[in-house]
Structure 1
Amino acid sequence: MSCNHGYSFRYPETCTFSCNHGYHRSEGSTSRTCQADRRWSGSAIRCCPNGYEYYQPSRFCYKAFNQEIDRSNYNDAAATCASEGGTLAMPSDAGINAFLLSLKNAGDFWFGLSDRGQEGRFVWANGVPLGHFNHWAPEEPNDHDGGEDCAHYWVDKGDRWNDNFCDKSMKFICQVAT
């Protein structure tokens, strides 16, 4: 940030905002002016890491790891997301779910939902229990053969959700806060 009056933050100072190296502006005004009513013009800048796409309603940035080389088990996928400052993506409403589906290519993808703590009690990657919204495939989740604890988009069932064995290797989607 740089300001034309030395960071006084008083009317009529104008400040210019930019994203850090490795990030891109996803929303907001790069130039804002302190107005007479002590409010800033424009809206706050939001930055996403390069390679991530911003989804405004959730205020998160998302990236689909679409390449075969990206395939990982659930824990390794979660660790990759954590190394980038985020978690596996959490499609907690229909809008986020649709946005995530628009990012991924053909194939099964992990996202951040599991019942590893207690069978049948699905919890998001941030520890919040699964709410009213879900996109399970018919007859899912079913814990088939026991031990299916991690959720993914199931391409064979129209990208609906399925529970699967966490040690399977799949592509995945991460989310990071702006």
Structure 2
Amino acid sequence: MSCNHGYSFRYPETCHFSCNHGYHLYAGSTSRTCRADRTWSGSAARCCPGGYKYYQPSQLCYKAFNQQSDYTSAAATCSSGGGTLAIPRDAGINTFLINLKNAVDSKAWFWFGLTDRDQEGSWVWADGVALGHFNQWGPGRPDNATKNEDCALYWPQKDNKWSDFPCSETSLKFICQVGT
């Protein structure tokens, strides 16, 4: 995001913002005025890459990809765009991601950023933070049934609850998140 006139402003000058090439404005103001109290009017502009949707409570942008991939390749795709696999850390984000993926393919399984690859049973988000209290595991999950089910997915046949699955499975779609 850039301000058209530079970075030094005085009261009552106005800055006009625009998103960087390939990004789109999803929230906030494209113009903000320097106030006498040294604050800015309006709310900060939030820009997301093309195809991504902004979710205000997390202040992140998300995209459900309609392409199949294993977990590692999906994570690499997210990383190449400056993000990670999506992290449904609370009920609000989880619902937003389910709606996002369902708009792409309501019957497909989708990877998100949760794994226990480093230590069986110790689930960690894509940003390295431990799972915590919120989860939406499906009935009897995680179960590590095949002894290598280390990556999490949305399970549409069970109301989009979470399930564990082999990370090497290539038939899943995925959801990425990036900062604004």
**Normalization by structure 1: what TM-score?**
0.94
1:95 aligns with 2:92: yes
1:17 match: secondary structure:
strand
Q: 1:162 aligns to what?
A: 163
Cα offset for 1:7? 5.1
Cα offset for 1:145? 2.1
| Ranges in structure 1 where 5+ consecutive residues have no aligned partner | none
1:72 aligns with 2:74: no
Aligned residue pair count = 173
Measure, in 2, the Cα distance between the counterparts of 1:79 and 1:125. Answer: 12
Q: 1:125 aligns to what?
A: 126
Out of 75, 78, 83, the position equivalent to 1:81 is 78
Cα offset for 1:78? 0.4
2:73 match: secondary structure:
helix
1:172 aligns with 2:169: no
Q: 2:4 aligns to what?
A: 2
> Could you tell me which amino acid in structure 1 is paired with residue 110 of structure 2?
F
Please give the residue correspondences for 1:1-150 in structure 2 after superposition, counting only pairs within 5 Å: 1-3=3-5, 8-66=8-66, 70-104=67-101, 105-106=105-106, 107-150=108-151
Superposed CA deviations along residues 92-140 of structure 1, whole A, max 9, x for unmatched, are 1000000000111221000000000000000000100001000000100
Moved over 4 A (4+): none
Cα offset for 1:56? 0.5
Cα offset for 1:8? 4.0
**Normalization by structure 2: what TM-score?**
0.93
Measure, in 1, the Cα distance between the counterparts of 2:21 and 2:28. Answer: 17
Percent identity of equivalent pairs: 65
> Could you tell me which amino acid in structure 2 is paired with residue 79 of structure 1?
A
> Could you tell me which amino acid in structure 2 is paired with residue 120 of structure 1?
G
